[in-house]
């Protein structure tokens, strides 16, 4: 029973975190030049994840929820999902005083999380 409550709590935490990441994406999009395509993709992924996890939560709360909550692979997948969202949230969260650190933006680019569109040849800036 304790495991069932733990899984339900984890799912709720990850749902909230995915909503927070989508929100940070919006703010990042508004403040970082050339971020549009990548941020829109991240927002779609975070929103899709949130919808999927809400469905998992609904299944866990249903009549066969105990069996589902005992699934070790489901528990591990949710833990991994939370870990990745925590990392993404940390990278997307603006620094105190507003804005994003150039170094963090560069790290996002290197990890293919944020990739500004390439500029046409012959253009500057």
| Full domain range(s) for residue 45 | 2-110
Residue 123 inside a domain? The answer is no
Residue 30 clears pLDDT 50, i.e. is over it: yes
Average pLDDT in the 21-49 region?
75
The structural domain count of the chain equals 1
Task: Give me the pLDDT at residue 124, please.
Answer: 41
Task: Give me the pLDDT at residue 116, please.
Answer: 42
Residue 10 inside a domain? The answer is yes
CB 29 within 8 A of CB 90: no
CB 14 within 8 A of CB 85: yes
Identify the weakest region by mean pLDDT among 1-10, 47-56, 87-96, 105-114: 105-114
Predicted TM-score (pTM) of the model is 0.48
Task: Give me the pLDDT at residue 2, please.
Answer: 55
Task: Give me the pLDDT at residue 121, please.
Answer: 39
Average pLDDT in the 56-80 region?
80
What CA–CA distance (Å, rounded) separates 100 from 90? 11
Residue 115 inside a domain? The answer is no
């Amino acid at each position: 029973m304790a495991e069932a409550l733990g899984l339900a709590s984890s799912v709720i935490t990850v749902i909230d975190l995915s909503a927070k990441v989508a929100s940070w994406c919006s703010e990042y999009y508004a403040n970082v030049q050339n971020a549009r395509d990548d941020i829109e993709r991240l927002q779609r992924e975070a929103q899709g994840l949130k919808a999927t996890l809400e469905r998992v939560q609904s299944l866990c709360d249903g009549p066969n929820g105990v069996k589902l909550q005992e699934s070790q692979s489901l528990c591990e997948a949710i833990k991994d999902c939370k870990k990745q969202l925590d990392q993404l949230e940390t990278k997307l969260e603006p620094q105190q005083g507003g804005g994003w650190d150039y170094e963090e933006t560069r790290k996002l680019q290197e990890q293919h999380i944020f990739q500004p569109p390439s500029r046409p040849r012959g253009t500057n800036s």
